[in-house]
Amino acid sequence: MGKLHKLLILFLSFVFLKWAYQASYAVINGSRALEKIDLAKEPIQTELPQPVIKKVVRENKEFTYALHSPYEISGKVIASAVYQVFDTNPFYDVDVALVWGKPEKELDEIMKHYLIFQGGRWVFFESKDQRPKEEVSFLSNHFANNHLIPSENSKLIANVLKMLEKNQHIRIKGYLADIFDSNGKLFVRSSRVRNDSGGGACEIIWVDEIQVEDKVYR
């Protein structure tokens, strides 16, 4: 076995052990939720008179987060992806697609007729057969791809986000965020509505709190 091969194995072992430790830490430090997640609940969004401003440095460049809308959404995870090698972004590693708006059995009955495609920071759904217009309209308003930013200095939330899995029930609380460069030019904007589609339709969420099943992480 060559020296380079040994170094690669050692590096990969270190990465795995670090991930395992962080995952265990996240599981241990979750507190028990007081309420069960309601998948039928609509998202709650309000507007601030002035956005909360957060300055960050990414890749040796200064950016500004403008947290303009307190936001809370509950839903069932349809797809989740961590982007750390391809399609990376200096602000958010995790995308999660959620569906909500009905009890779980009704959501499952709808979703079994659809294929889900996730990749390149996009999520698409496609029906396997001809579906009623009302159903397609419902999904267009109750299905969203979310780019998740862990709140400032929260390694716990960052770890939990990376561990999200399909079919989990989650509740996210935080802010919809726009991101500006050092010159004040808009870099990327969060969607502010649930019924849009295409480029710019994803929610960018600054996550202050996340509930996964019966555990809450802050």
> Where are the domains positioned within the chain?
33-217
How large is the average pLDDT for residues 3-13? 66
- The confidence score (pLDDT) of residue 23 equals 53
Dist. CA 217–CA 211, nearest whole Å: 6
Q: Per residue in 65-99, pLDDT tens?
A: 999 999 999 999 999 999 877 777 778 889 999 99
Local confidence band at 164 (pLDDT 50, 70, 90 cut-offs): very high
Dist. CA 199–CA 183, nearest whole Å: 24
Find the radius of gyration of the CA atoms of the chain: 19
Enter the pTM of the model.
Answer: 0.84
Q: Per residue in 141-161, pLDDT tens?
A: 999 999 999 998 788 999 999
The β-bridge partners of 123 are 118
- State the average pLDDT for the chain: 88
Cβ atoms of 102 and 197 closer than 8 Å: no
Element (H, E) at 137: helix 133-142
Cβ atoms of 116 and 124 closer than 8 Å: yes
Q: Per residue in 118-134, pLDDT tens?
A: 888 888 888 999 999 99
- The confidence score (pLDDT) of residue 154 equals 85
Cβ atoms of 157 and 206 closer than 8 Å: no
Give the C-alpha distances (Å, rounded to integers) separating 34 from 163, 165, 177, 213: 22, 22, 27, 11
Q: Per residue in 21-54, pLDDT tens?
A: 555 545 557 899 999 999 999 999 999 999 999 9
The candidate with the shortest Cα–Cα distance to 151, out of 217, 62, 59, 216, is 217
In one-letter notation, the amino acid at residue 204 is I
> Nearest 5°: phi and psi at 73?
-140, 135
Dist. CA 39–CA 55, nearest whole Å: 34
